[in-house]
Structure 1
Amino acid sequence: MGIRAGHESSDKKSDLNVIYIVLDDVGYSALGCFGSEIKTPNIDSLAENGLRYNNFNVTPLCSPTRACLLTGRNCHSVGVGLVTEIDWGPQYPNKRGRISDTAATLAEILKLNGMATYMVGKWHLVPGHEAASSGPFENWPLSKGFERYYGFLLGMTDQYSPDLVYDNHRVKKPDQSNYHLTSDLVDKTLEFLTDHISVTPDRPFFLYLAFGAQHEPHQVPREFIEKYDGVYDKGWDQIREERFERQKEIGVIPPYTELVERNPGIKPWDELTAKEKLLFIKFQQTYAGFLTHTDQQIGRLLHFLKSKNKLDNTMIVLLSDNGGSQEGGWNGSINDAAYFNSIEENIDAMFDHIDEIGGPSTSPNYPKGWAQVCNTPFKYYKQNTFFGGTHVPLIIHCPQNIPDRGSIRSQFYHAIDITPTILDLLNIEAPQSYEGVPQMPLHGVSMMDTFTEPHAPTKRKTQYFEMLGHRAIWKDGWVAVTYHETGMPFDKDHWELYNVNQDFSQKYNLAVKYPGKLKELQEIWWQEAKKYSVLPLNDSPFIKGYKGLQEGRTTFIFYPGMAHLPTSAAPTITLSSYSITVPIFRSNRTAEGVLIAHGSHSSGYTLYIKDNYLLYEYNYVGTVYKIQSSVEVPVGHSTIRFEFKREMILQGTGKLYIDGQLVGTLYMPRTLPFVISVEGLDIGRDRLTAVSPNYPLPEFPFGGRIEKAVIELHDDYEYSKFFKKEKRDPIYINIDGTISYL
């Protein structure tokens, strides 16, 4: 057992409840109370009755920020230096995809001290290969201090057809019309809290509510999109300027702040074509409607707390995990697999689906021009260590402890400082040992003095940042930062220098004027990197990764009845020749359905029987390759087989067999290089979103009997072959499937 410290000896424990609300990919200016035209009245009410922090930073990526937030330690130190889908293996202890046992979470500490602990929503702190329904479970929420859990384990999921986990098992989404994940998460939150206050009303609780919003896919009911008809017709340049002026008016940026220039590559709005403007307006309307919908659901939670007399004794911390996302590319996206395969989607092709954006048949993300608007007044985006990636809104609502409500605080703090603040407020010390494991000290410091002292000096003097080779260091109001080009030696990076006490938006690079200061900060960065386990550095987003129990396997045997298997735990067929063999039995000619499917409406493959014929479809982000058998599938026992022979890395030939007889062949000039789909694999049905629009829903379960499905990988191209030997430049997949180097 860990030690219960501090509060154990007190005569009376605090009755304060604690709620973390984490939004996803919400940049500094996206909320109404931080200058946006987007309507967020419920979030704004938290700001009006609490504090807004305008100098708060996180890591520029999902998982690392969540690790910082829950542990009070720096992300690399606890093993979460990148998203957790890939475990980088023992050679990279800073990127193992799970929180180290030497860093107990806030949930574990509060549970030890008698609080109830609940989590709802996005976890994203488990290695991808451990996200299967077979576990192991030691890195799932229930093993990290939470007593009840409902949500999704990995970085993203479909808002209409999510991959849901309840406690330690997968479940179907509720059978209700007009289903939406954000509403469902709040439904379950209210269910958990109702149970809690009905039976144990005097026991304080900790709730960690992490929405999928505003991560892509941006999906929301049409009426929320229509709320913003006409709002964005003026374009991203004018909207950004208007947000900037509004930010000055309400005081969330200093009056001396200057708006930075457009990020490199973003076109002036006036230079876009009419078709581009219409498409990009729809993308931003959808993002705005999605955020307003999320705010409405937060309003349901606040109403519940108020109606149960719990709001005034509940501390609520609301923040975003990083800045606005650049992952939609220059044109935006309607197929989420495009980004993960370095594919830039075509304007004309997307425009043909403009009326579907926001609905269940697309996975939209907005273009980079709107992402910079989201991050006003800063430059760059999520993944980058400039303020556009790290500087996010923070609201703290704590009526018992904040007398100066509605105010703004300007002290520099970081995500690692939130949990120490909670422990300070509750008079609980972090344990030196937890379940027999010695604990690393907290890296964060308490912000609690800012609740009552508006001008209290920050206790944080230094903070490093690193993400995929992008680096930065903040110290006493100075920032040294580099935008790292993938493949370049780290010692060749061009560093910039900013005095953010005088230049809030990082507009004026002072590196030439103060070379001594820049060198001093660079040296401090390396000191902090060594201290907090940032080293070794690696800038490759396409590292093959360590697959845990699947490492080295070339044969996978799956059985009918298996739960949905996330892509991160499924066989990696990209860049390989492979075969899929499925022995089946059909009792009659009406037995049809899916034999195996891996993917969604955005990408993937499916093997199914319909109208007595065997069909294989491969969805290359909207382009579909289809093979139909030349003969019918026999009644009785038969063996179905699909073979793919890789040629020229991305091309290949697919062949269909029934009982060893070749019944169909097709040359496939384009296949996906990295990620077959964001959505996972099913046997005997297609559970979430359908890979093919050509079969009936839901699931199109096979009406016969499947003995097993065997996937065999016949070779394995290393991702490193996609990089030039001299610089390891990243590839770019052209829309025609050919390869270019950046």
Structure 2
Amino acid sequence: MYNVPKQFTWPPFQKVATLLTSVTLLTACGNSNKVMENVPVEESNPSLDREKMNIAYIVLDDSGYSDLSSFGSEIQSPHTDWLAENGLRYNNFHVTPTCSPTRSALLTGRQSHEFGMGTVANFDLGPDFPNKRGRIQPEFATIAEILKEEDYNNYALGKWHLSPSHHATPAGPYENWPLGKGFDRFYGFLEDSTDQMKPELVNDNTFIDVPDESDYHFSEAMVDQANQYITDHVSIDPDKPFFVTLNFGAQHQPIQVPEEYIQMYEGEYDEGWDSIRKKRFDKQIEIGILPKKAEFINRNPGVKAWNALTEEERKTYARFQEAYAGSITYTDEQIGRFMDHLRAVGELENTLIIVMSDDGASGLGGENGAINHTLTYNAIPQSKEEVMQAYDLIGSEHVKAEFPSGWAQVSNTPFKMYKSTTFEGGLRAPLIVYHPSLIKDKGEIREQYVHVSDITPTVLDLLGVELPEKIKGIKQEPLTGESFKQSLTNPKAEGKKTQYYEHLGQRAIYHDGWKAIGIHQNGEDYDKDVWELYHVAEDMTEHKNVARDNVKKLKELQELFNTEAEKFNVFPMSDLGLGGFLSVPEDSNRAKSRFTFYPGMSHLPEGAAPFTINKSYSIQVPVVRENSADEGVLVALGDFQSGYTFYIQNNKLVYEYILGTKVYKVESSEEVPVGNSVVEMQFKKTGNYQGTVSLSIDGRQVAEGEIEKTHPLKLSFEGLDIGQDNLNPVSQAYEGKFKFSGTIEKVVFELEEAH
């Protein structure tokens, strides 16, 4: 339950002597949670008090347009509803089709291709693609770097995903980490996703262990840390403003949430995705998110009618949505805790809060949903039987769940398609803007076309802050986003006229109420792309492709796309898709053919670990065993669903390779001697994504086995540990970290060839 707000005043920071205090009893967007508001309202024009104005960006991950109650959902989200009822909702807000480009455009106020983030940060495509290097070039400062010049303290929490994966090492390079981009403190994870109960956790510039708490969940811990930062800030220097960005990873796969939140929705989704999607659509029209003339679209390709499913399928798929809905409510609860804390320390009224999602809901779960995060990203299907057998585990830490695409379309109601596409289902997201004294039209909906790159220019405009000519001695490129400040107080203010989109060959262009979409088939020449045209000012849901009847308009938009693409560094394009995981540029540390790791090395994320995909390699480990009881993990990468582990147990040398439910295990026929020895694992590639494993002790082969299939793209979303298995154990043969009790001199990886 949201606590009753209390009135806090900060007289030293009030520009206006006379404040109009209003007390209103509100019901949050159809939710039964009633909350009181008591906030001062300035009688002046839209501008914020420069002497004391905090900024908070709250970013949801892979949440669809309709997932919040204030945007049409049946899911309980009372705290974001309260922000919506006391702020503004933008129903025509757009992002890029995927995570890193959106997050970087948000922080910089520019287009993502301009500065090197044309796709996700996992994919550094090398010098030939300067627009896809997985980083923000220093000529394009973040809002944190700009506000630091204005004496702000800056705090980042949660998902970062703005540094190349091969930079995510405990030894850096750090220039693209949060502290290298203007933030004073950071608590979160660096890559695109992580286990919510056992995340790859970073504090500032240091990888740290997950607290040993049975009920640990990253979203809650992240808000705990944010509240601690703010407590310290206002206790020590209360006159100084702060900027904080809360980046939840909770709706991105894997969906993991405490069981009681799943139980909240037990039976809620038994009626199925067809019915729920229609109910959301009707509610969106009722509350004004959609115009009454909006068309209800058909199911996406590959989504079956709910009534055509078997009883067991319906039961399992409903469980996925119960877990997803529970994760939304749980995340909303954490946002409420953050708001409560701002209020408790007297800062809520001094804080501009912006809530958004980074892209549409993901369709990667496919027809049946998925329970293995890594297999999904390797495009390896999981059988319906496997998924159904995991029914009771969906939403827990025991699987890495992703809901079926039928529910993803529900999340993206009323739009077609998903994240990673340039249809509205991938591009349109919820946006809530809250500030108690600035926004007078509380609870209203704004219809202006807004892009994520426009948010930071708007904030700087409100603050009256100019982009410095230089930051850290580097000349800055101009902001290319457009301020929408006027729309905060003027519902008839103009929106953005033109915006391009491109993601891995899929492209689109919006201009003045029209939108053209270029549909690309991977591997084909871009000249063969099929273009569709929608008059989105009249056809919000992209229901009717009018390309045939408007050839001249389509040609005009195609030419405009090329103009915008040249302006914003979109060319050259690449259509690698998930194959981007195989991109290891020659200038990266990961491209080496030999790695030597020493015991005590911090956890190393998989994206920076030796690149062993589809190649021969060996792992050699000189060890000392004082007695026959010495055992444990020598090196491990991954978790119980995907990865490998090399260990000594019961005096035997063991290697396991995990590919979903398939476990390849090779164990020595001889015991590892007490004293000094060199143990080695060799993988010899015998075909594409298959090979032979041999184990040896002091150069003598002691075991051999076949691995019929290896990962084609990515080994795991959990990284590498030396001398222990730090997070989720790879093997079921041991528990916990299974730390090696002997002595490891070093661990040497030798790859057949540099990448």
Q: State if a TM-score over 0.5 links the two structures.
A: yes
State the shift of 1:646 in Å: 1.0
Kept in 1, the 8 Å contact 2:90–2:432? The answer is yes
Partner letter of residue 445 of structure 2? I
Partner letter of residue 711 of structure 1? F
State the shift of 1:435 in Å: 2.0
1:416 corresponds in structure 2 to 453
Kept in 2, the 8 Å contact 1:384–1:483? The answer is no
Which residue of 575, 582, 587 corresponds with 1:539? Answer: 575
- In structure 2, the CA distance between the partners of 1:531 and 1:710, relative to structure 1 (3 Å rule), is same
Aligned CA-pair RMSD:
1.5
2:389 corresponds in structure 1 to 352
State the shift of 1:548 in Å: 3.2
| 1:601 and 2:640 aligned | yes
| 1:59 and 2:105 aligned | no
Kept in 2, the 8 Å contact 1:87–1:547? The answer is no
Q: 1-side partners of 2:658 and 2:312: how far apart?
A: 25
Partner letter of residue 310 of structure 2? T
Unpaired segments ≥5 residues, structure 1: 1-9, 719-742
1:449 corresponds in structure 2 to 486
Q: 1-side partners of 2:286 and 2:225: how far apart?
A: 38
Which residue of 367, 390, 398 corresponds with 2:404? Answer: 367
Which stretch of structure 1 is more off in the superposition, 553-562 or 530-539?
553-562
Partner letter of residue 240 of structure 1? R
State the shift of 1:187 in Å: 0.5
Q: Secondary structure at the residue paired with 1:26?
A: coil
Q: 2-side partners of 1:598 and 1:303: how far apart?
A: 40
State the shift of 1:635 in Å: 1.0
| 1:336 and 2:373 aligned | yes
Q: 1-side partners of 2:284 and 2:139: how far apart?
A: 41
- Residue-by-residue CA offset, 1:113-153 (whole Å, 9 max, x unaligned): 11111111111110111110100111111111101111111
1:636 corresponds in structure 2 to 675
Q: 2-side partners of 1:31 and 1:116: how far apart?
A: 30
Kept in 2, the 8 Å contact 1:362–1:601? The answer is no
State the shift of 1:257 in Å: 0.5
Q: Secondary structure at the residue paired with 1:77?
A: helix
Kept in 2, the 8 Å contact 1:331–1:367? The answer is yes
**Which aligned pairs between 1:137-286 and structure 2 lie closer than 5 A?**
137-286=174-323
Q: Secondary structure at the residue paired with 2:284?
A: helix
State the shift of 1:261 in Å: 1.1
Q: 2-side partners of 1:692 and 1:209: how far apart?
A: 34
**Which aligned pairs between 1:300-699 and structure 2 lie closer than 5 A?**
300-458=337-495, 460-541=496-577, 542-543=579-580, 544-545=582-583, 546=585, 548-550=587-589, 552-697=591-736, 699=737
Q: Secondary structure at the residue paired with 2:731?
A: coil
Which stretch of structure 1 is more off in the superposition, 203-212 or 544-553?
544-553
Q: 1-side partners of 2:503 and 2:680: how far apart?
A: 43
Kept in 1, the 8 Å contact 2:691–2:706? The answer is yes
Q: 2-side partners of 1:610 and 1:551: how far apart?
A: 30
Kept in 1, the 8 Å contact 2:131–2:569? The answer is yes
| 1:38 and 2:75 aligned | yes
Q: Normalising to structure 2: TM-score of the pair? A: 0.92
State the shift of 1:12 in Å: 7.9
Kept in 1, the 8 Å contact 2:141–2:476? The answer is yes
Kept in 2, the 8 Å contact 1:656–1:662? The answer is yes
Q: Secondary structure at the residue paired with 2:600?
A: coil
Q: Secondary structure at the residue paired with 2:96?
A: coil
Q: 2-side partners of 1:115 and 1:711: how far apart?
A: 45
State the shift of 1:656 in Å: 1.4
Partner letter of residue 528 of structure 1? E
Partner letter of residue 595 of structure 2? F
Q: 2-side partners of 1:195 and 1:696: how far apart?
A: 38
Partner letter of residue 273 of structure 1? T
**Which aligned pairs between 1:108-147 and structure 2 lie closer than 5 A?**
108-147=145-184
Q: 2-side partners of 1:78 and 1:519: how far apart?
A: 28
State the shift of 1:552 in Å: 4.3
State the shift of 1:326 in Å: 1.4
Once the two structures are aligned, what percentage of the paired residues are identical? Answer: 50
State the shift of 1:645 in Å: 1.2
State the shift of 1:11 in Å: 14
- Residue-by-residue CA offset, 1:232-274 (whole Å, 9 max, x unaligned): 1111111111110111111111111011111111111122222
Partner letter of residue 161 of structure 1? K
State the shift of 1:483 in Å: 2.6
State the shift of 1:440 in Å: 1.2
Kept in 2, the 8 Å contact 1:331–1:344? The answer is no
- Residue-by-residue CA offset, 1:399-426 (whole Å, 9 max, x unaligned): 1110010000000010010001100111
Partner letter of residue 580 of structure 1? I
Q: Secondary structure at the residue paired with 1:524?
A: helix
Partner letter of residue 627 of structure 2? N
Q: 2-side partners of 1:712 and 1:279: how far apart?
A: 44
Q: Secondary structure at the residue paired with 2:595?
A: strand
State the shift of 1:277 in Å: 1.7
Partner letter of residue 684 of structure 1? G
Q: 2-side partners of 1:326 and 1:43: how far apart?
A: 25
State the shift of 1:491 in Å: 1.0
Q: Secondary structure at the residue paired with 2:157?
A: strand
Q: 1-side partners of 2:48 and 2:372: how far apart?
A: 57
Kept in 1, the 8 Å contact 2:590–2:610? The answer is no
Kept in 1, the 8 Å contact 2:157–2:187? The answer is yes
Q: Secondary structure at the residue paired with 1:556?
A: strand
Partner letter of residue 288 of structure 1? A
State the shift of 1:632 in Å: 1.8
Q: Secondary structure at the residue paired with 1:98?
A: coil
Q: Normalising to structure 1: TM-score of the pair? A: 0.94
State the shift of 1:356 in Å: 1.4
Q: 1-side partners of 2:62 and 2:562: how far apart?
A: 28
Kept in 1, the 8 Å contact 2:633–2:648? The answer is yes
1:102 corresponds in structure 2 to 139
Q: How many equivalent residue pairs?
A: 707
Which stretch of structure 1 is more off in the superposition, 640-649 or 700-709?
640-649
- In structure 2, the CA distance between the partners of 1:250 and 1:36, relative to structure 1 (3 Å rule), is same
Q: 1-side partners of 2:539 and 2:437: how far apart?
A: 35
State the shift of 1:549 in Å: 3.6
- Residue-by-residue CA offset, 1:362-386 (whole Å, 9 max, x unaligned): 1111111111111000011100011
- List, as ranges, runs of 4+ consecutive aligned residues in structure 1 with deviation greater than 3 Å: 10-14
Kept in 1, the 8 Å contact 2:121–2:165? The answer is yes
- In structure 2, the CA distance between the partners of 1:12 and 1:368, relative to structure 1 (3 Å rule), is closer
Q: Secondary structure at the residue paired with 2:115?
A: coil
State the shift of 1:30 in Å: 0.6
1:703 corresponds in structure 2 to 741
- Residue-by-residue CA offset, 1:518-576 (whole Å, 9 max, x unaligned): 01000000000000000001101214321534264211111111111111111111110
| 1:18 and 2:18 aligned | no
Q: 1-side partners of 2:48 and 2:57: how far apart?
A: 27
- In structure 2, the CA distance between the partners of 1:12 and 1:216, relative to structure 1 (3 Å rule), is closer
Unpaired segments ≥5 residues, structure 2: 1-46
1:712 corresponds in structure 2 to 750
Partner letter of residue 286 of structure 2? E
- Residue-by-residue CA offset, 1:701-722 (whole Å, 9 max, x unaligned): 0000001111111257x8xxxx
Q: 2-side partners of 1:551 and 1:44: how far apart?
A: 45
State the shift of 1:613 in Å: 1.6
